[in-house]
Amino acid sequence: MAFNEKPQWSKGQMNRIGDALEGKRELDEELFRQIVFWHEDLLAELYLVSVPVLDKRVNKNAEFLKIGEIGPDIVYSSRIKNEDTIVEKLSRLRTDLARIQDFAGGRFDIDCSPATQVLVADDLVAVFEELGCSVVKKEYLEKSQFGYRAIHLHITGAAGRIELQIRSKLQAQWANTFELLADLAGREIRYGHQHESESVNDLVHSLQELADAIHQLAVSDDLLDQRFQRTQDLDGSTNSKYSIMYLKLVEDLVESRKGVREARLKLVESMSSIQRELRSIGKVR
């Protein structure tokens, strides 16, 4: 499949499927299956186009990744919205099925910093625009969505609409933790709604503060990398005094980045612990 291929159904037919899922008319099950299969193929094409772009930025051997580099562990996932979430979104947005951008969605979780995340997104925007698609980039980094951080690409071509999410490993870990809580306490908390339980609201607030801390930690690692790159201008000095200063500066920066890495590991452990606790309890009333 190519992004410039047109499906055999019209937007009006797809919208009538949405109406049927909301109980407004009889569902054409065969057409619904065709639409789902088509978008599954589109997500497979999304993967095939995107992976070579990401591979160009992979550094397999670095102790610390530079801005512009990503780690080799690239995790891709995709899904078609299920009927319940389709109906929920149609109702919440008061829109038509053919206009839902994330009816089909793909996601890359990569080891990267915020600055690199933006560069990766720009790489992908350029590639999909070359394929004739319209791409809208949505950045949720400095300003989160109730704690959630990522970059979303809204890709629209003749073949249809899809959403591609680009998340760092820590952003993914946080999102998975918050999603577990939403499964237990109700999906409304994902959109800033208060829960009837104050303990749930307190946990939501704590997770949102954790999300901010994760982001600031990642930004600080970017700043450390920028400082490290600037120290390269001092390298090779014939003056022993400046050579000693250079080596001390490099040593301090390396130790600082090690500290950031250790903090990241502790955050991952904390979120894994929260996830285990959430899985051990039932629905929150």
* Burial of 255 from C-beta contacts in 10 A (0-12 / 13-18 / 19+): exposed
pLDDT tens digits in sequence order for the chain, 285 residues long:
789 999 999 999 999 999 999 999 999 999 999 999 999 999 999 999 999 999 999 999 878 899 999 999 999 999 999 999 999 999 989 999 999 999 999 999 999 999 999 999 999 999 999 999 999 999 999 999 999 999 999 999 999 999 999 999 999 999 999 999 998 888 889 888 899 889 889 999 999 999 999 999 999 989 988 887 777 665 555 555 556 666 676 677 778 888 888 888 888 888 888 888 888 876 655
Give yes or no: residues 100 and 226 share one domain: no
How many Å apart are CA 120 and CA 53, to the nearest integer? 8
Domain, as residue range, for 245:
198-283
Please give the pLDDT value at position 229: 78
User: Which residues are CB-neighbours of 271 under 8 A, at least 6 positions away?
Assistant: 173, 174, 176, 177, 210
Is residue 133 classed as helix, strand or coil in its secondary structure? coil
Q: In terms of DSSP H, where are the helices of 150-232?
A: 169-185, 198-231
**What pTM, to 2 d.p., does this model score?**
0.89
Give yes or no: residues 43 and 112 share one domain: yes
Give yes or no: residues 256 and 139 share one domain: no
- Of residues 257, 256, 253, the one with CA closest to residue 234: 253
Please give the pLDDT value at position 268: 83
112 found inside a domain: yes
CATH of the domain at 104: 3.30.460.10
How many Å apart are CA 256 and CA 249, to the nearest integer? 11
209 found inside a domain: yes
Is residue 210 classed as helix, strand or coil in its secondary structure? helix
Give yes or no: residues 218 and 259 share one domain: yes
